Structure 1
Amino acid sequence: MTSDSANILLVDDHLNSLQALSLLLARQGYRIRKATSGQVALQTIGVELPDLILLDIQMPQMDGYEVCARLKADPLTCDIPVIFLTALDDVADKVAAFSAGGIDYITKPFQASEVLARVQNQLTIQRQRRQLLAQNLRLQQEIRERQRLESALIQANSDLQRLASIDGLTQVANRRSFDQHLHHEWQRLLREQAPLSLILCDVDYFKLFNDHYGHLAGDACLYQVAQAIDQVIRRPADEVARYGGEEFAVILPNTDVAGAVFVAEQIQVAIAQLAMPHAQSIVNPYVTLSLGITSLTPIVEKLPQNLIAAADVALYTAKSQGRDRWRVHLCNQTTCQTNSNLCLERSQISV
């Protein structure tokens, strides 16, 4: 704030004092406005806020203390610095001036050099204060912008992570997500010594479906099948993934073989309710699934691949025995058992 731009309001009911101050400050390049009473001063301030006010204390009707108190009570004017002018030099008067909100005190008769020094000092403080406020405002804006960018970056990373783990066609987890989730649950249930079940699902005669209805219809079929399976999977730790082509996998942590069989039957009910025509199917006029089920409590001697291999054996059995059915192949803690008493079958589901 230079002297050329500083706007100073002089408030004094003594015209000689008012004129002398006005002339002194105007010579320094300050823009001067004058008021001869407290009421006029408040009206003048309402028209344009000054940068500094020199305010006489002893005025009729409304003294300087009341004028200053009103200014400090108004959020629009509370930050305007006020220098009191008075012929009183008592300590109590000075304390009253500062208590009313004044920031400095000039005793009449005043010395020109003292007035100029005090005015310049307060204008410098006011200029620095405004610069600090502007700097703080810029910093706040920069912080908000940085927070916005960080939030956008976090959201973008989250979207990328989601896209990296989602199969674009079926909108369920992809093979990469399946591998990661299976490994994570295997390690967790190895510590807890709780069962982990896996279901592999294969759309029956899907190549014939594609050949007959076309690849767009085939894509739509896979999407509907995936979404139907996903609707059956309720628990947060469960996951349905596109395992590859027309195959889907369902990971069921903390689930024994009986629970996995129940889920498999619910999946077949959901697929049957879709009632998607499959004119080329040999087993059913509608789209069906073959399912391979396995369950195992993880142990150090085995790997997640053992679980996948067992489910794959069960799926192969279901397909080789006529499709549109589920089969169970269990691995005990030491060997994989394939005897007939471990192959379970449900009744055929009709629509």
Structure 2
Amino acid sequence: MPDNRTPTILIVDDTPANLLLLTQLLVGQSYDVRPVTQGRQAIAAVRAIRPDLILLDIRMPDMDGYTVCQTLKADPETNQIPIIFISALDDTEDKVRAFECGGVDYITKPFQPAEVLARVRTHLALAQARIALETANRELQRALAREAELARIDWLTGVYNRSHFYELATYEFAIATRYDQPLAICMFDVDHFKHINDQYGHLIGDQVLRTIAQTAARQIRTADCIGRFGGEEFILLLPNTTMEAGLNLAERLRVAVAALEIHTEKGTITATISLGVAGRQPADTMIERIIDRADQALYAAKRQGRNCVVGV
């Protein structure tokens, strides 16, 4: 219930005199009051208007207040609305039953207007505090989720950082080993990146890295992932991927990057990448062995003249 909105109160009572008295009392305090005389009407009204508070009689001809309360509390859409019972029933058993079925308070008829207003104000304030707390908790959870996600991301390129990539790679390696599935690693780096930095400056170099990283991210499947391994070097995790499929992906990525025209404030820049691909072998006992072979393949590609793919 926002602070700037008039609280809506639903009154449910089949006695016209009681209904009128309560309505006048609460309208006099500037509440938005909706009176109904039957239990089924009350349920329909609650679902339609979602009041902030319900004042509920127990004895009604079509459906008693206990049943109304239980019905509303069983519905996830209405179960948080506070219900105050107002009844001429004064036995302890009646009061206990009212609380057991979900009521937050119980006022005995004939009621005192000051008591009714005090309890209404109290439970509206409690409901508002609960809503505020739930909102704050949701915002906190979103903030924590964002923080956790940021902790996994390389701030410059927007792909996974090295630490989180290793977590994912270790997990996928364990699955591939257990079920004897193929798994490939592709490492690549930007050719002559030092020259780009020296000629255009580090800000342009950063733009080149971001563009290439995001281009690679668009080339891979949802099941794959990309991480920044360090500097201008990146790594792809390719679960359930054979060496042949890994080499094909690497070649598509090489072609896609070579075709890029990176528009910067210092003109249009082109770049190429060298790539090394390695696949899981039966003798591998840890993901690092595949990564090491992919790294060796990458350096072999650079020795072969760069802008090419080598697999081992």
| TM-score above 0.5 | yes
Sequence identity of aligned pairs in percent?
33
Unaligned runs of 5+ in 1: 1-40, 52-69, 82-100, 105-119, 278-284, 330-351
Contact 1:50 1:80 in 2 (8 A): no
RMSD: 3.6
Structure 1 residue matching 2:221: 3-state secondary structure: coil
- Determine which of 289, 299, 304 is the counterpart of 1:321: 304
The alignment status of 1:259 with 2:248, answered yes or no, reads no
Contact 1:204 1:289 in 2 (8 A): yes
- d(CA) in 1 for partners of 2:23 and 2:123? 28
The alignment status of 1:205 with 2:197, answered yes or no, reads no
The alignment status of 1:311 with 2:294, answered yes or no, reads yes
The alignment status of 1:245 with 2:231, answered yes or no, reads yes
CA change 1:123–1:328 in 2 (3 A) is same
Q: C-alpha displacement at 1:128, in angstroms?
A: 4.8
**Aligned counterparts, 1:1-351, within 5 A:** 48-49=24-25, 72=37, 103=88, 122-124=110-112, 128-235=115-222, 237-276=223-262, 286-297=270-281, 302-329=285-312
Contact 2:186 2:276 in 1 (8 A): yes
CA change 1:298–1:181 in 2 (3 A) is farther
Q: Which amino acid aligns with 1:321?
A: Q
Contact 2:276 2:309 in 1 (8 A): yes
Aligned to 1:342: none
Unaligned runs of 5+ in 2: 1-16, 28-34, 43-53, 58-85, 90-107, 264-268
- d(CA) in 2 for partners of 1:245 and 1:50? 68
Structure 2 residue matching 1:274: 3-state secondary structure: coil
Q: C-alpha displacement at 1:176, in angstroms?
A: 1.3
- d(CA) in 2 for partners of 1:261 and 1:305? 19
Contact 1:193 1:297 in 2 (8 A): no
Structure 1 residue matching 2:189: 3-state secondary structure: strand
Contact 2:87 2:109 in 1 (8 A): no
The superposition leaves residues 71-115 of structure 1 with CA deviations (integer Å, 9 ceiling, x where unpaired) of 84799xx9699xxxxxxxxxxxxxxxxxxx9959xxxxxxxxxxx
Moved more, 177-186 or 285-294: 285-294
Structure 2 residue matching 1:322: 3-state secondary structure: coil
Aligned residues: 226
After TM superposition, the score normalised by the length of structure 1 is: 0.56
Larger radius of gyration: 1
CA change 1:272–1:46 in 2 (3 A) is same
- d(CA) in 2 for partners of 1:102 and 1:317? 87
Q: C-alpha displacement at 1:149, in angstroms?
A: 1.4
- d(CA) in 2 for partners of 1:50 and 1:219? 64
